[in-house]
Structure 1
Amino acid sequence: MTKRDRPVLLYDGDCGFCTASVRFVERRVPTSAEPVPYQVADLDALGTSVERASREVVWVARDGRLYGGAQAAAMLLVDAGGPWRPLGLLIRVPPLRWAAHGVYRLVAGNRGRLPGATPACALPAEQRPGPGPASR
């Protein structure tokens, strides 16, 4: 696994809801992570795939470990420290871990209907505007 200076938060840059969520994090949550749309990231170097990054947000830890979905959000909160850290730690422990996973899946599955969404949010990754999966 490759060591890195900062964790990376991969998100769907074609999705307005996802982008708005990341902008909120940038303004309000003091994380050391570098948010990067998966569409412009070197996914091979980060150890993940288009299939995974198009399905869920991915946290790439400094040591190269990957966390997806609700666990990526938990890692972001732990990294932020302060009042965010206890919430992130709670989300990592069953049964809250299971509940967080269910909520994440519910939100991810309906992101096209949420505030800030764009029509691209509702499309499968291979049908979204911009470069195709082969070039990502």
Structure 2
Amino acid sequence: MKIQPVLVFDGDCGFCTTSVRFVERRVRPECEIVPWQFADLVALGVPQERAEYEVLWVTPAGTVYGGSQAVAKALLSAGPGWSVLGALLTLPPMRWAAHVVYRLIANNRHRLPGGTAACAVRESRPPGR
């Protein structure tokens, strides 16, 4: 049995849940997708504060990618068309632009369709930084 990466998202956020459902149907990344509220964060090596702050991609080896780079990793795992987009998101200056766009969306997800007050990110900076 192949151990897959894990994509961790905020299951309490309507916008995030809707986005993940789209990804499951259309993008089909090769990973397990789990809300952080039901994930074994300790086993994944991820503090809850980080899981609340950004989407995460955790490799089978335990490397954790967050935010736009987690999105890039999911796209890279998805197949020829999506993997090209994922690869572009890992290269400067696209990586920098992707980070800015990701933070803009993440910081305002409670204002987006499906978003609620529960979707609001508590901090504007990554935990522990």
Q: Is the 8 A contact 2:107 2:121 kept in 1?
A: no
Displacement of 1:62: 2.2
Superposed CA RMSD: 1.4
Q: Which runs of 5+ in 1 are unaligned?
A: 126-136
Corresponding position: 1:16 with 2:14: yes
Corresponding position: 1:46 with 2:58: no
Partner of 2:126: none
Corresponding position: 1:34 with 2:32: yes
Displacement of 1:123: 6.3
Partner of 2:65: 67
Q: Which runs of 5+ in 2 are unaligned?
A: 124-129
Equivalent positions of 1:1-136 (< 5 A) are: 5-122=3-120, 124=122
Equivalences, count: 122
Q: Render the CA deviation track for 1:21-47: whole Å, top value 9, x for unaligned.
A: 000001101211111110111101001
Stretches of 4+ moved more than 2 A in 1? Answer: 122-125
Q: Which amino acid aligns with 1:35?
A: I
CA–CA distance in structure 2, aligned partners of residues 108 and 29 of structure 1: 20
Partner of 2:127: none
Task: Give the TM-score, by structure 2 length.
Answer: 0.90
Q: Secondary structure at the match of 1:27?
A: helix
Displacement of 1:124: 3.4
CA–CA distance in structure 2, aligned partners of residues 123 and 109 of structure 1: 6
CA–CA distance in structure 2, aligned partners of residues 21 and 86 of structure 1: 20
Displacement of 1:118: 2.1
The percent identity for this pair of structures is: 60
